[in-house]
């Protein structure tokens, strides 16, 4: 606190001197000016604080900036919610604040703005990182049982129920 005080006081003190010269004896006006100064500083801090924080967050242009076209942004948003952040792997890139997620958002938005289809962008990422990067499962040689099993189980249930009701009706 001691180290900070001289700097903090320097400007208001000079202000006090100037104010005394300009408006002798008018303590009321001085108070108003100082209040104004404080408010101005607070307002500036309020505006520049988040701006500085945003600037610190990523050098990728569209990491924290939405596309101007609302329709395109909605498309990008939908895709970003179904892509995995490569660093914090439980999160989508729409939710993650990891630096690489910022780059991935920027890549998605830039490509959507260029008119690329969301599924083409997903494909581009899968080509580089494998299926793991996408939250939307694909039917492949490895994953087809996941899609087939529910159908098999439903068919089995239908078969068993038919047998049971069929027998019940006969008896």
Partner 1 sequence: MSEAPIRARSWSTWLPLALFLGFIALVAVGLLRPADRNVASTLIDRPLPAFALPGPIPGTPGLKSADFGHGQPRLLNVFASWCLPCKAEAPQLKQLAAAGVSIEGISVRDRPDDLQAFLAQNGNPYRSIGADDAGSVQLALGSSGVPETYVIDGRGRIRYQHIGDIRPEHVAMLLDKLKAAQ
Does 14 contact partner 1 by CB under 8 A? Answer: no
Phi, psi of 84 (to 5 degrees): -85, 135
Rule CB under 8 A: say whether 86 interacts with partner 1.
Answer: yes
| Contact present, 116 and 87 (Cβ < 8 Å) | no
**Do 104 and 83 contact (CB within 8 A), yes or no?**
yes
Distance of alpha carbon 114 from alpha carbon 127, whole angstroms: 20
Q: Is 127 in the site for partner 1 (CB under 8 A)?
A: yes
User: Of 31-39, 67-75, 105-113, 136-144, which segment contacts partner 1 by CB under 8 A?
Assistant: 105-113
* Under rule CB under 8 A, residue 141 binds partner 1: no
Least distance (Å) between residue 95 CB and partner 1: 17
Instruction: Out of 33, 83, 107, 112, name the contact with partner 1 by CB under 8 A.
Output: 107
Nearer to partner 1, 61 or 166 (CB): 61
Answer for which of 94, 104, 112, 122 binds partner 1 (CB under 8 A) is 104
DSSP per-residue letters across 25-84: T-HHHHHHHHHHHHHHHHHHHHHHHHHHHHHHH-SSTTSS---SSHHHHHHHHHHHTTBB
CB 109 within 8 A of CB 58: no
Regarding 76 and contact with partner 1 (CB under 8 A), the answer is no
CB of 25 to partner 1, least distance (A): 50
**Binding site residues, partner 1, CB under 8 A:** 58-61, 86-87, 89, 99-100, 102-104, 106-107, 110, 125, 127-130, 132-133
């Amino acid at each position: 606190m001691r180290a900070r005080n001289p700097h903090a006081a320097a400007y208001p003190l000079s202000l006090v001197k100037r104010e005394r010269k300009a408006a002798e004896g008018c303590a009321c006006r001085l108070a108003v000016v100082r209040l104004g100064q404080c408010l101005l500083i607070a307002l500036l801090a309020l505006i520049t604080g988040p701006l500085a924080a945003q600037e610190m967050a990523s050098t990728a242009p569209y990491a924290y900036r939405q596309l101007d076209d609302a329709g395109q942004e909605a498309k990008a948003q939908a895709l970003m919610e179904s892509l995995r952040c490569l660093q914090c792997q439980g999160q989508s890139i729409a939710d993650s604040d990891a630096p690489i997620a910022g780059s991935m958002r920027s890549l998605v938005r830039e490509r959507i703005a260029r008119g690329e289809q969301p599924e083409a962008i997903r494909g581009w990422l899968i080509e580089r990182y494998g299926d793991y990067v996408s939250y939307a499962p694909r039917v492949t040689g490895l994953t087809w049982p996941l899609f087939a099993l529910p159908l098999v189980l439903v068919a089995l249930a239908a078969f068993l129920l038919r047998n049971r009701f069929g027998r019940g009706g006969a008896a």
